[in-house]
Chains A and B, each alone.
Chain A
Amino acid sequence: MAHVSIRQARKSFGATQILHGVSVEVEDGEFVILVGPSGCGKSTLLRMIAGLENISGGEIAIGGRVVNDVPPKQRDIAMVFQNYALYPHMTVRDNMAFSLKLAGATRVEIEEHVQRAARILDLAPLLARYPRQLSGGQRQRVAMGRAIVRDPQVFLFDEPLSNLDAKLRVQMRAEIKELHQRLQSTIIYVTHDQIEAMTMADKIVVMQAGRVEQVGAPLELYDRPANRFVAGFIGSPAMNFLAGRIADGAFHAGGAAWPLPNAAGGVNGAAVVYGIRPEHMMLSPGGLRATVQVIEPTGSETHVIARVGSASLVCAFRERVAARPGETIEVLPNPALAHLFDEQTGNRLN
């Protein structure tokens, strides 16, 4: 277990710069998730921590030791790859024992560690099998077992669940979280699935195009996104954004007046973007008139796509909505939960 600091880390492949100075602090025993759209540099950052890519600028420290020039095997980290990278010619037992064997551990020690990992991950009946005789979820567990056996300071996961089907993913999500609670280890986990990030992380790092957009606890990012990108990235269905102006203590867009969040200052006439999450819209007689375009019942919620004035809006209601496309419903946002962003910079205003 160790503390990891990434300070102004930069990475370029040839002339193209991929990471533009990323700084993240990972506390001892913390579960940190890197999220961001595809190609934003999450895997690259993880591989730099592992030592599989060199560091073009800045520094990375693990447990207080700067590791820029430390080869991977001396960093005391374990990584679970997206494709698991199990050795196909070794049994599950040998896969898990490999690192200990190289480190010169005794037979007894190896067996003890392997058995312990197998018990934690429920792999005991599979120890004699080869990777190709395992299902995707079992392979995933072996890959984690290989990491656990080493008892490293830091675990790195690169999208370990992306090859699994939806049901298994939910199950493995719970298992990884439980594993973390049990081992109390430092975990850095990459995903582009924001639900994974929200459900598992102690702290989420949202990245875009090689920059950190915001770092914070899951609910902090959900409640107070620092900018429009984070607001749109976290939460599903995604936040609605309306472009308009503030006038007379209300927000005007597409011919409708929206109530402002309580804390909003009196920037009269300013061009802003108004953000409201679908689940923060309420059915409210006497509210804004919205023309229903599409209704999607999901069972627990009803998603309604509607037009308010000229703006299109997604709402998610707990109650069932009887309206049919073309009909009008009356809705209001919960103003306390609305967000205002600068139209130019995208930064949060309230």
Chain B
Amino acid sequence: MDVAAPALILRRRPEAGRLARLFDNKTFLICACLTPAIGLLVVFLAYPLGLGVWLAFTDTQIGGGGEYVGIENFVSLAHDPVFLKTVFQTIFYTAVATAGKFALGLWLALLLNHALPFSSIIRAIILLPWIVPTVLSAIAFWWIYDPQFSIISYVLVDRLHLLAHNIDFLGTPWHARFSLIAANIWRGIPFVAISLLAGLQTISPSLYEAAMLDGASPWQRFRFVTAPMLMPILAVVLTFSVLFTFSDFQLVYAITRGGPFDTTQLMATLAFQRGIPGGQLGEGAAIAVAMIPFLVASTLFSYFALSRRKWQQGEANE
């Protein structure tokens, strides 16, 4: 029985039809295999992106057509104080939140890299903020930051008697900005911690032992072994983290909607607000397009400055 099967296949081969022969053609096969992927990319990525860029150069409004207006949208944005303030806020938000996420995430990863009791359970718990849908956690933060029912105010005022009045978390500009940054850090830590932990675990323990015998103190071991070996993965994680934070929308929109007085507006929320509720599709698109140079710059920075390491590339150097 087993012997018969290959024989059958062999006999069928010469009778293969045109279709089968077509699939033997390498060029055709490559095209056939690539088509679905390229189709998906075009429909869901290239087309919306292209349309967005196109809209940025028109004065399209919702419900009406639009005409090509050149860089008029960008010129008017350059003189728009709300937009300029938003750019500053976005950069500030990204910088502070990323620094916070990396400081805390690295610290957590270093702790978890030591053999702790229940470390797998702790690792699972740490992932929680990341698993919870953003809007759900935004609602939780909304309550935490509520002017009347905030648990933080409750503890500080009613329990510890450290403050006389409730904190108005979301009502004043700087409070609101830092409250949002705190929420973003909370959400971002798991990604950073787990990624860096994965990086730490690829470092062979014998390197630390060798460094210990070479006379390195714990700080020197971190400085000369951990840090350089973690740098490549750190660069990747940093890039992603900056991209996600810079283009953050959900958290801000759900907690403050950009208020009070646009002081927590990010470029993504402003783009949405101008474009959809405001109806100025062209202007909204222009704000969104204005994010692109920032994102490209930060990607290039981490690619060139941090991730290229000669010792990993193994090029011959005599």
Contacts and interface: CB of A to CB of B under 8 A. Distances in A.
Interface in A72-87: 72-73, 77-79, 81, 83, 85, 87
B316 A133 contact: yes
B214 A73 contact: yes
Contact of A89 (B209, B214, B311, B314): B311
Contact of A128 (B206, B215, B216, B317): B317
B79 interface: no
A341 to B, nearest CB: 40
A85 to B, nearest CB: 4
A103 interface: yes
B311 A102 contact: no
Given A73-B216, A132-B311, 11 more contacts: A50-B213, A52-B209, A85-B206, A85-B210, A87-B211, A89-B228, A89-B229, A98-B211, A133-B316, A146-B210, A146-B214
Interface string B269-312: 00000000000000000000000000000000000000001111
Interface residues of B, number: 23
Contact of B314 (A52, A103, A132): A132
A133 B215 contact: no
14 contacts: A50-B209, A50-B213, A51-B212, A51-B213, A72-B213, A81-B209, A85-B209, A88-B312, A98-B214, A102-B216, A130-B314, A133-B316, A133-B317, A146-B214
A283 interface: no
Interface residues of A, number: 27
Which 6 pairs show the lowest CB-CB distances between chains A and B?
Answer: A99-B214, A85-B206, A73-B215, A85-B210, A130-B311, A89-B228
A129 B315 CA distance: 10
A103 B216 CA distance: 9
B214 A102 contact: yes
Contacts of A73: 212-216
Nearest to B232: A89
Interface string B167-211: 000000000000000000000000000000000000010110111
B215 A88 contact: no
A127 to B, nearest CB: 11
B253 to A, nearest CB: 43
A282 interface: no
Nearest to A94: B224
Contacts of B317: 128-129, 133
